Amino acid sequence: MKGKVVITGGGTGGHLKVAKAFIDEFHKRGISPIFIGSKTGQDEQWFKDERKLKKAFFLDTKGVVDKNFLGKIKSLFQIIKEVNHCLNIFDKAEVKTVISVGGFSAAPATFASVLSFGCKLYIHEQNSKMGKLNELTSRFATEVFSSYLQDSLVKDYPVNSEFFDNARVRHEIQTIIFLGGSQGAKAINDFALSVAVKLDKLGIKIIHQTGKADFQRVKSKYEELNLDVDVFDFTSDISKKMSLADFAISRSGASTLWELAANSLPTLFVPYPYAAKDHQYYNAKFLKDKKLCFICRERNLNPEIIDKILKADIKSMSKGLIDSIGYNAIESIVDIIIQNNQK
């Protein structure tokens, strides 16, 4: 492959999971990529000591969205400054390929790839609604990969193989897992607590990821209710937790949504109400339109929903999820990138 590969983007776990999938796949092929992220967010936590990388750079950048006017100007000025930094990195390392997984962390390296002669840009858009950065730069990309775009060469989402390996068809609900994402979701936590006694009386077990901020409160509440619940703040082994469950109640960030789909786990999605362009709702709607999930707005969560879930045909839904996502998405995407860069 001609030149070095840069993988850029992050900020949140969803973007970083896709970055990790690319890093792992290139490493399997004997290519050690460079990672360019931000000092803000979770990027350093994920990749500061990653041995599969040639090198990792964490730039002084912040998001532009949700800032006031002066904050936007300051963030944009810093991004422009770091674009020059990226151009220097590209020049020294002879970078010819940049893969953006989105998020504000991706801005400097993505813009630098557009300005760098002979450098090819590839974009992985995770969500059903394209982010601002990808909207701006997609016209310059050699290829845009997405689970939602009809003209994408690979429509499947890069999901770790362990979610497929632990998949099974569900026939009845004996265990429900509550997932609020890596940061947790108070609304889902409160909903779980409101239905916990009812589920216990029905003999349904509970698995509950609370997020770190709300863990002690939720754990104490379960103890007050004298309920035996598998409650935790975070785990790196979430695929095994999913595999134990027969139904999920979850946020609908792209990575979590497709991990649940890969695990064939029927889900009630509760979209984060403040997500940009309401993308979590439209992520879930993509599956809902195929009758492969349920959606409930956060404001409409109430205990009666459990009765509807227990009457649902989860076997048909679970079977349908098997064909909703392919096993080898990351291999197919990297194949295309390598073939293009050998021309």
Of 75, 32, 77, 30, nearest to 56 (Cα)?
A: 32
**Torsion angle of C-alpha atoms 66, 71, 72, 78, degrees rounded to 10:** -130
Q: What is the pTM of this model?
A: 0.89
Residues 250 and 276 in one domain: yes
pLDDT band for 80, please (50, 70, 90 cuts). confident
Query: Annotated binding site, which residues?
Result: 12-14, 127, 182, 280
- Report DSSP letters for 152-167, one per residue: -S--S----HHHHHT-
Sheet holding 205-209, edge to edge: 230-232, 205-209, 175-179, 247-250, 267-269, 294-295
Q: Where do we find the tokens 């997984």?
A: 101
Residues 12 and 60 in one domain: yes
pLDDT in tens, 188-225: 999 999 999 999 999 999 999 999 899 999 999 999 99
Give the C-alpha separation, 138 to 128, whole Å: 15
Q: 126 and 14 in contact (C-beta within 8 Å)?
A: yes
Q: Which two tokens stand for residue 252?
A: 């609908």
Residues 181 and 81 in one domain: no
Residues 131 and 168 in one domain: no
Query: Does 19 score more than 90 pLDDT?
Result: yes
Residues 181 and 146 in one domain: no
Tell me, what's the pLDDT at 318? 98
Query: Does 235 score more than 90 pLDDT?
Result: no
184-207 burial, b at 16+ Cβ within 10 Å, e below that, comes to bbeebbebbbebbeebbeeebbbb
Query: Does 181 score more than 80 pLDDT?
Result: no
pLDDT band for 288, please (50, 70, 90 cuts). very high
Give the C-alpha separation, 319 to 273, whole Å: 29
Q: Are strands 55-59 and 230-232 parallel, antiparallel or unpaired?
A: unpaired
Q: 105 and 256 in contact (C-beta within 8 Å)?
A: no
Give the C-alpha separation, 109 to 137, whole Å: 11
Tell me, what's the pLDDT at 76? 77
Residues 97 and 58 in one domain: yes
Residues 318 and 171 in one domain: yes
Q: Cα–Cα distances in Å, from 166 out to 186, 204, 261, 263? A: 28, 21, 12, 6
Query: Annotated binding site for UDP-N-acetyl-alpha-D-glucosamine, which residues?
Result: 12-14, 127, 182, 280
End-to-end, the C-alpha distance of the chain in Å comes to 9
Give residue 107's identity as a one-letter amino acid code: A
- Give the domain extent around 136: 4-159+327-340
Number of domains in the chain: 2
Residues 144 and 23 in one domain: yes
Q: Cα–Cα distances in Å, from 229 out to 32, 222, 305? A: 42, 7, 20
Q: 188 and 179 in contact (C-beta within 8 Å)?
A: yes
Residues 187 and 306 in one domain: yes
Tell me, what's the pLDDT at 64? 65
Residues 64 and 169 in one domain: no
pLDDT in tens, 303-328: 999 999 999 999 999 999 998 999 99
Residues 183 and 232 in one domain: yes
pLDDT in tens, 127-179: 999 988 899 999 999 999 999 888 888 989 999 899 999 999 999 999 999 99
126-150 burial, b at 16+ Cβ within 10 Å, e below that, comes to bbbbbbebbeebbeebbbbbbbbee
pLDDT band for 14, please (50, 70, 90 cuts). confident
> Any idea what the CATH number is for the domain that residue 239 is in?
3.40.50.2000
Residues 88 and 222 in one domain: no
